[in-house]
Structure 1
Amino acid sequence: MNYLFFSTLSQMGFWITWLLIPILAETVPAISSFVKIFFYTIGKPKSEKDPSFWPFISIIIPVYNSEDTLYECIQSVYQSTYPIDKIQVIVVDNKSQDKSFKAFQSAQNSFPKLNMQWMKTEQGKARALNSAIYSSSGAYIINIDSDGILERNALKNLIKKFESDTTISAMTGSILTQKSLIKSTKNVGLKWLQRLEYFEYAQAFMSGRSIESQNNHLYTMSGAFSGFRKDALMKTFMYDVSTVGEDIDITFQVRDKAKGKVILCADAFFFVDPIESWNKLYTQRQRWQRGQIEVSQKYSGNRLGLKSFFSNFLVRRLIIDHTFMFLKTIWLFASIALLFLN
């Protein structure tokens, strides 16, 4: 009888443990996030009105071997609804080995009304951005990647939000992959990967960053599309050239050093190319994780510890991303294995 009781208790404990992992790591955070977004959406004010005048802005496009995408990127700036005479475009080449300059010349010829200039810097995105910032003339600095395109109203929506709230120092736009390129992918496996990437981006920006923005807890602005008040940006040490997570680092600098507010502009969209291969996915995620750990170590000080989980969003983010993720991965693969064990 005792054997049966303890055997049953042991089996119950085993399955309850496996059920607790997805409940704690998936279900509870999902419900909590849904409730936060629901009430945030209800209480969200109506869209901002157009300002009485549109300020002059500087758009920085770092370039490295971008001959295939640069023209369309510049074209998207030209076709935006933002007043063309209020835009400065600085294209910064950091040691490209292809014909990126030829693509720039072609854009110059096609869009003569667009104020554009070409710069050369040492290799590295952070170095390129820093050089262009010092050469910029705009009241707002906007960085976009050369392998993406702006939605027509993205610049207007970004600046409207800046102008309607003077406490905002920096913003990230919403990044999505281009659906048309996903549809044209022939490889079935790669197409499924690209679809998953699309929904991951949608969830990360429409949900994750929306929640983080509410308490000025945005962990990182997207390096693909971000905007800054120039005066706030000049209070920082600029982009850190010693880390691969320069976009995370500048987010923390604006918030911690410049004491600024960093949020998401949900209706400012930038569309990037979908991932090209599994190898590129691995390299990309490895770089993201390395950058997150480097910057977290730099800004955590002595605050790391389980006791700071509820009081410090940096600690909370690290535990969720690097500890809970480990449990979720084990649960997923172990659950599949358990099926074969009946």
Structure 2
Amino acid sequence: MNRLARAAAVVVAVAALPYLAFLALYGLVRPDGSPADKREAEPTVSIVLPTYNEADIIETKIADLLELDYPMEKVELIVVDSSDDETPDLIRGYLADRDHPELTLIGEDERRGLAVALNEAYAAANNEMVVKTDCDSFVAEDTLRVAAANLADPDVAAVTGQNAEVLGGSEVEAGYRGVQAHIQTLESHLDSTLIFHGPFSAFENGAIVPVDRDSLADDTELALKIRRNGKRVVFDPAIQYSEASHSDFKKRRLQKDRRGMGLIRLLVRHRDAVGRYGKYGAVVLPFNWWFMVVSPWLVALAIGLLTGAALVAAGPFGLVVPTGLWLFVRLGGSDRLGAFQPVYAIFDTQVSLFRASLELLQGEGDGTWEIDEELREAFE
């Protein structure tokens, strides 16, 4: 074994250690059931819905919300809209003949970024529980009741759920979400989880604080700030939603890289939280730092070392390493890896996080988001 190969083996071993430690901790804790002390509750609810040129799907989304198993007289819908199409007119028209839910429509003259829009919507929310959801997602009928039961625990001030059905059938995203659900379940049983999901997150109104105007991870940032203020923020797999996603490698970059940028930047800005706030700062944040910041660079380094070692040992035949990686990506992006699909899903996420790190170092990224028309079709 040449030096490059030995170095690659060391890098792979170092990169793997925290994940093996996580698996050991999961086996030790064996998280089961909800992390919160659930109690039946029926608070008033403010549903916050940011919109931008959603004319093709907005009626489908509102219809989905109206199907929720919850008394609509206790619900207000707050839409913050920056569209230049007929989205606001469609919203008003769809709800015109209904007394409930009460509609508050906040119109923006120009797009100022999602974080700014959400801060304004949260400030307008009057009810006890505030729910944020995205237009291009469906939520299960019982989500409000399950969220309310979690927030009835006096220690819990925010809760999120899982993408139980990936619209469009992406096995890559389904594999990643499955792994992520196990991670977030353990985090929540230890203390609190880090990542909150845009399709459905619920917060105690009194716990909400403004997020940074340039935030690219607004839901997670709000949850992190709530935890820093002393309340737990948890993941409950019983809260389920559906969101569309790609499997194709190139198409996933638009969807995943921006998320990666937001999460990495958030971790860096709140780096002083590491080591504080109980097990959240001692275990949860360090693990996410490793997964999002350190591990992607180690994966890239390992690939480079393995390729170099193969070329030194076998000359042109050493190209079998990058060729094998290319084949791995092709098969994984086509959902053809069978039982190894979750492994590819983690690799795919590491690619996005590495790319996101590079983009952040180059000073890229703002608070706006682009519409993916192909994913919209999966929602329709």
TM-score range, shorter chain: 0.7 to 0.9
Note closer, same or farther for the CA distance 1:198–1:46 as it changes in structure 2 (3 Å cut): closer
SS of the equivalent of 1:178 reads: strand
- Please list the CA deviations of residues 157-191 of structure 1 after superposition, one character each: whole Å capped at 9, or x if unmatched: 1111111x111011222235534x33xxxxxxxxx
Tell me the residue number matched to 1:298: 269
Number of corresponding residues: 306
Of 100-109 and 76-85, the range deviating more from structure 2: 100-109
Q: Distance in 2 between matches of 1:45 and 1:301?
A: 29
Q: Distance in 2 between matches of 1:88 and 1:99?
A: 21
* Paired residue type of 1:218: T
Tell me the residue number matched to 1:251: 223
Tell me the residue number matched to 1:89: 77
1:132 and 2:121 aligned? yes
Instruction: Please say if residues 175 and 225 of structure 1, whose CA atoms lie closer than 8 Å, have aligned partners that are also in contact.
Output: no
Q: Any residues of structure 2 matched to 1:69-148 within 5 Å, and which?
A: 69-93=57-81, 95-108=82-95, 113-121=100-108, 122-123=110-111, 124-148=113-137
SS of the equivalent of 1:218 reads: coil
Q: Which structure ranks higher in relative contact order (CA pairs < 8 Å, sequence separation ≥ 6)?
A: 2
Tell me the residue number matched to 2:359: none
Q: Distance in 1 between matches of 2:2 and 2:304?
A: 20
SS of the equivalent of 1:331 reads: helix
Select 2:172's aligned residue among 196, 203, 206.
196
Note closer, same or farther for the CA distance 1:42–1:13 as it changes in structure 2 (3 Å cut): same
- Please list the CA deviations of residues 103-153 of structure 1 after superposition, one character each: whole Å capped at 9, or x if unmatched: 313531586543333221352212221222222221111100111111111
Note closer, same or farther for the CA distance 1:171–1:319 as it changes in structure 2 (3 Å cut): same
Instruction: Please say if residues 73 and 150 of structure 1, whose CA atoms lie closer than 8 Å, have aligned partners that are also in contact.
Output: no
Tell me the residue number matched to 1:208: 183
- Please list the CA deviations of residues 239-258 of structure 1 after superposition, one character each: whole Å capped at 9, or x if unmatched: 221232323322221112x2
* 1:217 CA drift (Å): 4.6
Instruction: Please say if residues 60 and 142 of structure 1, whose CA atoms lie closer than 8 Å, have aligned partners that are also in contact.
Output: yes
Tell me the residue number matched to 1:3: none
Instruction: Please say if residues 68 and 142 of structure 2, whose CA atoms lie closer than 8 Å, have aligned partners that are also in contact.
Output: yes
- TM-score, normalised via structure 1 length: 0.76
Tell me the residue number matched to 1:283: 254
* Paired residue type of 2:151: F
Tell me the residue number matched to 2:292: 321
Note closer, same or farther for the CA distance 1:333–1:298 as it changes in structure 2 (3 Å cut): closer
* Paired residue type of 1:152: E
1:232 and 2:207 aligned? yes
* Paired residue type of 1:195: E
Q: Distance in 1 between matches of 2:150 and 2:10?
A: 42
Which aligned segments of 4 or more residues in structure 1 are displaced greater than 6 angstroms? 45-49
- TM-score, normalised via structure 2 length: 0.69
Instruction: Please say if residues 166 and 245 of structure 2, whose CA atoms lie closer than 8 Å, have aligned partners that are also in contact.
Output: yes
Give ranges in structure 2 of 5+ residues lacking alignment.
276-280, 321-380
SS of the equivalent of 1:214 reads: helix
Instruction: Please say if residues 4 and 305 of structure 2, whose CA atoms lie closer than 8 Å, have aligned partners that are also in contact.
Output: no
* Paired residue type of 1:222: H
Instruction: Please say if residues 248 and 291 of structure 1, whose CA atoms lie closer than 8 Å, have aligned partners that are also in contact.
Output: no
Tell me the residue number matched to 1:188: none
Note closer, same or farther for the CA distance 1:207–1:101 as it changes in structure 2 (3 Å cut): same
* Paired residue type of 2:174: Y
Note closer, same or farther for the CA distance 1:199–1:13 as it changes in structure 2 (3 Å cut): same
Note closer, same or farther for the CA distance 1:318–1:38 as it changes in structure 2 (3 Å cut): closer
Give ranges in structure 1 of 5+ residues lacking alignment.
1-10, 183-193, 305-309
* 1:83 CA drift (Å): 2.3
SS of the equivalent of 2:116 reads: helix
1:155 and 2:178 aligned? no
Q: Distance in 2 between matches of 1:48 and 1:144?
A: 24
* Paired residue type of 2:163: I
1:263 and 2:234 aligned? yes
Instruction: Please say if residues 72 and 149 of structure 1, whose CA atoms lie closer than 8 Å, have aligned partners that are also in contact.
Output: no
* Paired residue type of 1:216: D
Tell me the residue number matched to 2:43: 55
1:25 and 2:12 aligned? no
Q: Distance in 2 between matches of 1:174 and 1:302?
A: 25
* 1:259 CA drift (Å): 1.8
Tell me the residue number matched to 2:365: none
* 1:265 CA drift (Å): 1.8
Note closer, same or farther for the CA distance 1:328–1:277 as it changes in structure 2 (3 Å cut): closer
Tell me the residue number matched to 1:242: 214
Q: Distance in 2 between matches of 1:50 and 1:265?
A: 14
* 1:316 CA drift (Å): 4.4
